[in-house]
Structures are given as structure tokens and as C-alpha cells.
Amino acid sequence: MNITTEPLVVIQPTRSWKLVSFKDLWSYRELLFFLTWRDVKVRYKQTALGATWAILQPLFMMVIFTIFFGRLAGVDSAGIPYPLFALAGLVPWTFFANAITQSGNSLVGSSNLITKVYFPRLIVPAAAMLAGLVDFALAFVLFVVMMVYYTVVPTIHVLMLPVLILMTALFALGVGTWFAALNVKYRDVRFALPFLIQIWLFVSSVILPSSALAPKYRWLLMLNPMSGIIEGYRSALFGLPFDWPALGIAAAIMAVAFLPVFYSKLALNDGPGVLPCALTLWASAVVLHTGSRKALLAGGACVGLAASFKYSDGAVVIALVAAALLSPLSFRDALKGLVFAGLIAIAAVI
């Protein structure tokens, strides 16, 4: 009997962008299920209350927000009882924040497994994110009970809810995978991540509706995808009109942020590559700067600047340059920018 000595899988760095093998992801789907179930069990192991913590966390935050912002500050909640208004934002936000935290630390926490056996590394942060969906489902039961208590009847807008949940999960996976890769090289990430999430909470529409801001400043919230997504949850659950421009911009930014996860040099071992960061930020500049000639020239300069750097530290400089290009835009311009981002992705594949 002939026994081959050739390795079944060769792991080596790539010199160009490479599409993640969806065939490998499908082949290891049972491992994804196992790791997800492991994360669920480990999270509440040796706890007195168990999975009840998934309900208590948004419940206590709802009570605190209701006392200070609903009663004392008198925040306008668009005719919705403030406890229900706050909980509608806290349930998706808690899932998003926990998913980023868990997936951001997943690679470092699973280093013993990663170094011993081959499997698609994307499975590790994906399992951490999927485990958070269990908490989301439990917290959503609390929200349903609150809706029954306040006699709020959902409308046909509730059909948009699965789309919003998918957007939240994909955005959490995209951001969490970025942090997971960076955390491997820079251990400062695990200290900065909780602080970043706390700040992110207050610049989202969890506590205040976007209508609380003056119209000339409201566009700033559109730059935060979670703000538009949380407003979308409230529209779907309470039958309010959807803010389609905000959702469109959120989807565009989410797609741009998620692009390097599936198609890049991001091997989840050495941190994100420079060129994928550059092209992603170029697409971001196009999306957020209406696709004008200035944005294209500035984006091209960003790509050239990134290519001149050997290591991923150049991405920091690119981020600073791209941040200076941000400006308000209309929904039509957001779609135009999304088309540009798609063309960049197609050009990279070719």
C-alpha cells in the first residue's frame, strides 16, 4: 500500500489578496457548531444565575437609563414609553458589544488550539459571535414581555427585523475579526477594547433618538453604523418610519468594514495587511465623500502611501488621512459610493 508523504494542507503567507475558502468553512461547519456551543457553556459555567445574566444585564441598564434619562432628564422618546424605548436599543447593543469583546479576544484565548491543528481561523471569532446570539434571544424574550406589558402591538415593519439582526451580526463579526487580528500582535487591544465600547455606546442612538440632535449635526450619527441599525430596530418593532438613508449608509460602511474579513491578506495570525487596509479606506472615502474627484484622488494617495509601508503600521497613517475626508452625504451618494466599493473588490479579484 502506497502512503503519500505529501502534506494535505500547506499553510503559507500570501503576497496578494486571497479569497477566503468558503469550501473550507463549509467543511468545518461542525467545528463551528462545537466551538459555539463550547463558548455558550463556558460563559456561564459555575455561575449561580447561569444564562439569567443575559436578561439581567440589559434589564438593569434599562432601569438606570429610565431613572436618569427618562424621568430626570425627560428625554423625548417619540411617544414610546422610555423603558421600552431604551430596551429596544440595549438588546441589540448588548449583543453587539459582547460579540466584539468575545471575538476580539478569541484568537488569543484559543492559541493552544490554533497552534496544534489546522482549520479556517475565521471560525474562532465567528463562533464567539454566534454564541452571543443565544444571549440576544434570551434578552429579546424580556423585550417581548415588556411589549406585552405596555400593550404595544408590532406592525408589518417587524418583517425587517431578521435583516437588522443579520446586519448587526455581520458588523459585529467584521469589527471583532479586525480586533482579533490586531490583538495577536498588539496586546494593548484587550485593554483598549472595553474603553472603546463604552464610548461607542454614548455616540450611538441607544440613550437618545437621532431626532434629539440638531439637523446640522445629525449626519454625524450616520457615520456610526450602529446608530442607524438601532434606529432601524425601533422602527421595525414600534411601526415607526424607517430612516432609509441611515440604514443605507450603515449597510455601506458595514460592507466596507467586512470586506477584508473575507477577501484580504488577513490571515488572522499577523494582523491586517497594509494594502487591504488601504483599499478598504479608499472605498470608505468614496462612500463618505460622494465619490467626487477629490475623494478619488485622495483615496489613490492613501493607497500609494500604504503601499510604501512594509508593515501594517502604515494603516494608522492611512486611517488619519481617510478620517480627514469624511463629510455628510445623501442616500443616493451612499449608493454611488457602494458601487465604487464593489468595483474595487471586483478589480482586486481580477
pLDDT in tens, 117-149: 878 888 888 899 999 898 999 999 999 999 999
In contact, 100 and 177? CB cutoff 8 Å: no
Please give the average per-residue pLDDT across 64-85, as a whole number. 86
Query: Is 233 exposed, middle or buried, given 0-12, 13-18 or 19+ CB atoms closer than 10 A?
Result: buried
Cell 449597510 belongs to 251
Identify residue 254 by its one-letter amino acid code.
M
pLDDT in tens, 234-266: 999 998 888 888 888 888 777 776 665 555 444
Which sign, positive or negative, has the C-alpha torsion 308, 311, 312, 317?
A: negative
Bridge partners, 18 (sequence order): 264
Residues 6 or more apart in contact with residue 333 via CB below 8 angstroms:
290, 291
pLDDT in tens, 281-338: 545 554 444 445 455 444 444 444 444 444 344 444 444 444 444 444 455 554 554 4
Cell of 255: 460592507
